[in-house]
A = this chain, B = another copy of it.
Amino acid sequence: MQRNTTPCYYTDYLQLDKLLDSQHPESKKYGPEAHEEMLFIIVHQAYELWFKQILHEMRAIYQEFNQTAIPDEALGRIASRLERIKAIQKLLIDQIQVMETMTPLDFLDFRDYLVPASGFQSIQFKEIEIMLGLKSKFRINFDQASFYQRLNEKDREHLQGLENEPSLFDCVEKWLERIPFFEYGDFKFWDAYHDAVNKMLDSDQAIIENNDYLSDNDRAFQLKDLETTRASFSALLDKASYEQLASEGRFRLSQQAMLGAVFINLYRDEPMFQQPFRVLTALTDIDEHFTTWRYRHVIMVQRMLGSKIGTGGSSGSDYLRQTTENNRFFKDFFSLSTFLLPRSALPELPEALKKALNFYFHPAD
């Protein structure tokens, strides 16, 4: 690294001449400028700046993930970048409060000039969705039918090209499938896990059956619940059942990847799994933040537009509401807790495996 040899000026560095000359209210073309249109423009531009930053981080994360073996040095970096995305998402959510200082009556002053522009047309946001794994086939009908045909040639080709590349979802899935410790010497983890699950559920069943304080109704309810739990565990471990559930849309990750994620969650205290656990947590948080942002958006649009149509000619808040649940990227991670065992019931890992999961150098040695 070296010092620069020509001076760097703030205004030039940030290209403020361009940046601050990019706000041209549409209302001005038809009469006096609507005071509130500036806010509308700037809120959306701020979104786009942050989308650019999110994409910048996602591409860097993708490059590290998209290798046959991810070096351990990389995981801390990946986790930090995912956590940065989370920090940015909080801003995106908080920005809604700024937008909401604009009242519906204010919005009416320029709303009709914007037809048919709509936030649904943000190319960068679609890029984020596609990179995270939301390919066309997962989109709701409205998007499938009308999104691509509204784009110009260049943007359409750009996004369709992106759909053909592996997404971050795909890379994460492959990484989880590679987790190597399910069998280590004589130790077969999933057998031990299966035994532990059965032992726990049998003991639960005995308690419920013998608990005198329970009414018959409550006992029946709890036993039925136990059966559901038993069935959930079986589905995870049985390839055929899992694939059946996956085909019904209950899972998107492969069984092997899901098992990897469960394993990391159960043994997250082992040094080698501390960062992978942090990465999984961050991916789950990112999914949660996006769905929160969409939900806040739904409510804001509902309030701003009432039962009229959105600026893009679509049925605004209804469309958005559907996407809150449909456009989830890592929803499978929200099911992980179904497959966890309390630490007290967890199979103990053999010493050799514990050593393998620890550092080469041991101060205590």
Contact = CB atoms under 8 A, between A and B. Distances in A.
A363 B180 contact: yes
Candidate in A4, A48, A56 with the most chain B CB atoms within 10 angstroms? A4
A134 B357 CA distance: 38
Given A10-B117, A108-B341, A207-B2, A72 B359 contact: yes
Contacts of A307: 228, 232, 335, 338
A360 B364 contact: no
Nearest to A200: B1
In the complex, the count of this chain's copies comes to: 4
A53 B73 contact: no
A208 B277 CA distance: 47
Given A77-B269, A337-B306, A342-B108, A114 B8 contact: yes
Interface string A337-363: 111111111000000000111111101
A38 B114 CA distance: 31
A336 interface: yes
B76 A269 contact: yes
Interface residues of A, number: 143
Given A76-B277, A307-B232, A355-B360, A16 B272 contact: no
A198 interface: no
Interface stretch (A93-101, A157-165, A186-194): A93-101
A22 interface: yes
Interface string A225-259: 10011001000000000000000000000000000
A225 B359 CA distance: 42
Interface in A60-105: 60, 69, 72-73, 75-77, 80, 83-84, 87-88, 90-91, 94-95, 97-98, 101, 103-105
A141 interface: no
A281 B278 CA distance: 15
Contact of A98 (B14, B73, B88, B97): B88
Given A87-B101, A299-B288, A208 B3 contact: yes
B53 A38 contact: yes
A204 interface: yes
A337 B42 CA distance: 23
B108 A76 contact: no
B7 A213 contact: yes
Contacts of A7: 115-117, 213
